[in-house]
């Protein structure tokens, strides 16, 4: 199984650790954004237009190369400054891919078909280990 991990950019280090745990379970992670050299604290406007174009194209390619998206949601009551992960969610949903949301239901689209919820990454990883996820 190949998955794309979608999350807020500042969570990049955390998701690198999750990627390693998934790889140990035989899951391939297609998210090349995790290896970008930009700091996790970088903000929109700090990089070149070319960087953003290349990054957006790479993310779409990585989603296309996955069987499913694992979306790390945030508290819907806390303001979020960036939202690329929502585009990734929507793109995957339009392609009728399964989407695994780790965290709270953040918006109305998290209630749609083919969207499966796990309160924590540990619960998602347990489902992976038990082969108890929809592919």
Q: Which domain holds residue 63?
A: 2-36+48-129
The model carries a pTM of: 0.84
Give the mean pLDDT of the chain: 90
Q: Which CATH number does the domain housing residue 67 bear? A: 3.40.50.450
Distance in angstroms (rounded) separating the CA atoms of residues 135 and 126:
15
Q: Looking at the domain assignment, is residue 134 inside a domain? A: no
Quick one: pLDDT band at residue 135, thresholds 50, 70, 90? low
Name, in order, each residue with C-beta under 8 angstroms of 113's C-beta and a sequence gap of 6 or more: none
Q: Looking at the domain assignment, is residue 103 inside a domain? A: yes
């Amino acid at each position: 199984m190949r998955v794309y991990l979608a999350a807020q950019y500042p969570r990049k280090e955390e998701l690198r650790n999750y990627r390693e745990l998934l790889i140990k379970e035989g899951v391939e992670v297609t998210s090349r954004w995790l290896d970008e050299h930009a700091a996790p604290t970088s903000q929109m406007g700090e990089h070149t237009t070319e960087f953003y174009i290349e990054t957006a194209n790479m993310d779409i390619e990585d989603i296309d190369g996955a069987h499913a998206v694992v979306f790390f949601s945030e508290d819907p009551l806390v303001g979020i400054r960036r939202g690329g992960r929502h585009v990734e969610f929507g793109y995957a949903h339009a392609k009728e891919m399964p989407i695994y949301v780790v965290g709270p239901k953040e918006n109305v689209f998290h209630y749609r078909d083919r969207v499966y919820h796990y309160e924590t990454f540990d619960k998602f990883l347990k489902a992976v280990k038990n082969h108890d996820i929809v592919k």
